[in-house]
């Protein structure tokens, strides 16, 4: 099942993508795709709707011109640093012995194809294609073998990062990770039954048509189940929390090349769809 949210920012409606690639409106069944919706009963009801998707209203292309993040009401965005062996190598860093954990502010959330405002004074704004995990039920102290039971679905994420803010301004990485538009999610929230193995997914990103990242989740230092179990040792993961699981080699930092106004990124993950963001002038205040 591929769930999504379509429409203008702040007024998105719930939908699903049927097997023909048509977006179907779920508004008659649910108000939105929210953390409160992620119970087993809700998922069963939506799967039944997906099985009979032809009975749901098709969404006109004009109404689906914009997709929002596939989940509303995200509580936390938790990120894992240096979690691909080749990315750790390209930064000159050793492989971590425990997951490196940091946050992105939720105000960084954007739709998968929304423009990316370049921070004013940006020197090193970078890209990071990542597998996103959305938690579906509370998770505290989960055993690794049970960790995937807490997953509502998977999605594509782009952990956009301003490296100057991240590394040269002191303090925590969150400052370089949380500018407006720095967390595109989607296009879809794909339920786990559609993903045979989250540790066998291709992850790629292009800038202006040039392939920059071309990796696989097989290269993760810490896999999905381990990350969920590990994080739940320290705090309770809640429905709607998002975990971005790290990025493969090929970042701007690795290429010594960073984003500029007019650049266009395209990125995707096997089975989870594609994103596209154009870098535009920033209307927000300078940092």
The residues with which 5 forms a beta bridge, in sequence order, are 14
pLDDT given at position 67: 98
Q: Is residue 252 part of a domain?
A: yes
Q: Report the SS3 class of residue 213.
A: strand
pLDDT given at position 282: 77
The residues with which 264 forms a beta bridge, in sequence order, are 278
Backbone angles phi, psi at 95, to 5 degrees: -65, 135
Prediction pTM value: 0.96
Phi-psi region of 271 (alpha: psi -120 to 50; beta: other; left: phi over 0): left
The residues with which 278 forms a beta bridge, in sequence order, are 264
Instruction: Spell out the residues 6+ positions from residue 232 whose beta carbon is closer than 8 angstroms to its own.
Output: 139, 140, 141, 142, 147, 150
pLDDT given at position 281: 85
* Kind of pairing between the strands at 273-280 and 116-117: parallel
Q: Is residue 97 part of a domain?
A: yes
Determine how many CB atoms are found less than 10 A away from the CB of residue 31. 12
HEC profile of 99-131: CEEEEECHHHEECCCCCEECCCCCCCEECCEEE
Is the Cβ–Cβ distance between 49 and 26 less than 8 Å?
Answer: yes
Q: Is residue 276 part of a domain?
A: yes
CATH of the domain at 223: 3.90.850.10
Residues 114 and 176 in one domain: yes
Residues 46 and 102 in one domain: no
> Does a cis peptide bond (omega within 30 degrees of 0) precede residue 262?
no
Residue 6 domain boundaries: 2-55
> What number is the average pLDDT over the span 208-232?
98
pLDDT given at position 161: 97
Residues 214 and 122 in one domain: yes
Residues 97 and 176 in one domain: yes
Q: Is residue 152 part of a domain?
A: yes
Residues 176 and 139 in one domain: yes
Residues 47 and 174 in one domain: no
Is the Cβ–Cβ distance between 241 and 135 less than 8 Å?
Answer: yes
Rounded CA separation 281/267 (Å): 21
> What number is the average pLDDT over the span 223-248?
98
Residues 38 and 81 in one domain: no
Q: Is residue 69 part of a domain?
A: no
Check the CA dihedral 124-257-262-266 and report its sign.
negative
Residues 271 and 132 in one domain: yes
Residues 230 and 113 in one domain: yes
**Number of folded domains in the chain?**
2
Q: Is residue 102 part of a domain?
A: yes
Residues 131 and 236 in one domain: yes
pLDDT given at position 287: 41
Residues 12 and 147 in one domain: no
Predicted confidence band of residue 43 (pLDDT cuts 50, 70, 90): confident
pLDDT given at position 284: 57
Residues 217 and 276 in one domain: yes
Instruction: Spell out the residues 6+ positions from residue 64 whose beta carbon is closer than 8 angstroms to its own.
Output: 6, 7, 15, 23
pLDDT in tens, 147-172: 999 999 999 999 999 999 999 988 88
């Amino acid at each position: 099942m591929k769930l999504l949210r379509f429409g203008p920012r702040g007024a998105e409606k719930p939908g699903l993508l049927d097997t023909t690639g048509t977006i179907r409106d779920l508004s008659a069944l649910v108000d939105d795709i929210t953390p409160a919706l992620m119970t087993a009963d809700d998922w069963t009801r939506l799967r039944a709707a997906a099985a009979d998707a032809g009975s749901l209203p098709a969404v006109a292309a004009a109404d689906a011109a914009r997709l929002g993040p596939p989940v509303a009401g995200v509580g936390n965005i938790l990120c894992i640093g240096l979690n691909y062996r080749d990315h750790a190598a390209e930064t000159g860093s050793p492989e971590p012995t425990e997951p490196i954990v940091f946050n992105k502010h939720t105000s960084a959330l954007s739709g998968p194809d929304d423009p990316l405002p370049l921070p004013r004074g940006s020197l090193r704004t970078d890209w990071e294609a990542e597998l996103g995990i959305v938690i579906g039920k509370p998770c505290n102290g989960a055993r690794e073998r049970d960790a995937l039971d807490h997953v509502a679905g998977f999605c594509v994420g782009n952990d956009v990062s301003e490296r100057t803010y991240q590394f040269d301004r002191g303090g925590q990485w969150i400052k370089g990770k949380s500018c407006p538009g720095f967390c595109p999610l989607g296009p879809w929230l794909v339920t786990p039954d559609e993903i045979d193995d989250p540790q066998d997914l291709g992850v790629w990103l292009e800038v202006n048509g040039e392939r920059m990242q071309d990796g696989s989740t097989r290269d993760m230092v810490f896999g999905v189940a381990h990350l969920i179990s590990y994080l739940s040792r320290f705090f309770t993961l809640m429905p709607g929390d998002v975990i971005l699981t790290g990025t493969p080699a090929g970042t701007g930092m690795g290429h010594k090349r960073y984003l500029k106004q007019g650049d266009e990124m395209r990125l995707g993950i096997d089975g989870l769809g594609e994103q596209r963001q154009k870098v535009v002038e920033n209307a927000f205040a300078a940092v």
